[in-house]
Amino acid sequence: MASYAGARPSGRFEVIAWLFMRVSGIVLLVMAMTHLVIMHYGITVNELSFDIVAQRWDGPFWRLYDFVLLGLALFHGANGARVVINDYVYSKGWRLLSTTLLVTASVVLMIIGAWVVITFDAARFAV
Partner 1 sequence: MTGGRVTFREGLRYRGGLNMYAWALHRLTGLGVLAFLAVHIIETFFLTLGPDAYNAAISIYKSPFFKVAEIALTFAVLYHAVNGIRVTIQDFWPALWRYERAFIWASAAIFVLAFVPLAILSILPLLRGEY
| Site residues for partner 1 per CB under 8 A | 1-4, 22, 25-26, 28-29, 32-33, 36-37, 40-41, 44-46, 48-51, 53, 70, 73-74, 77-78, 80-81, 84, 90, 105, 109, 112-113, 115-116, 119-120, 124-125
- Between 22 and 92, whose beta carbon lies closer to partner 1? 22
Decide: 63 and 57 in contact? Cβ < 8 Å. Answer: yes
| Cα angle: 13, vertex 70, 110; to 5 degrees | 70
- Between 37 and 64, whose beta carbon lies closer to partner 1? 37
Smallest separation, CB 38 to partner 1 (Å) = 12
Residues 16, 75: Cα–Cα separation, whole Å = 13
Smallest separation, CB 77 to partner 1 (Å) = 4
Residues 80, 53: Cα–Cα separation, whole Å = 29
- Between 8 and 22, whose beta carbon lies closer to partner 1? 22
Residues 10, 17: Cα–Cα separation, whole Å = 10
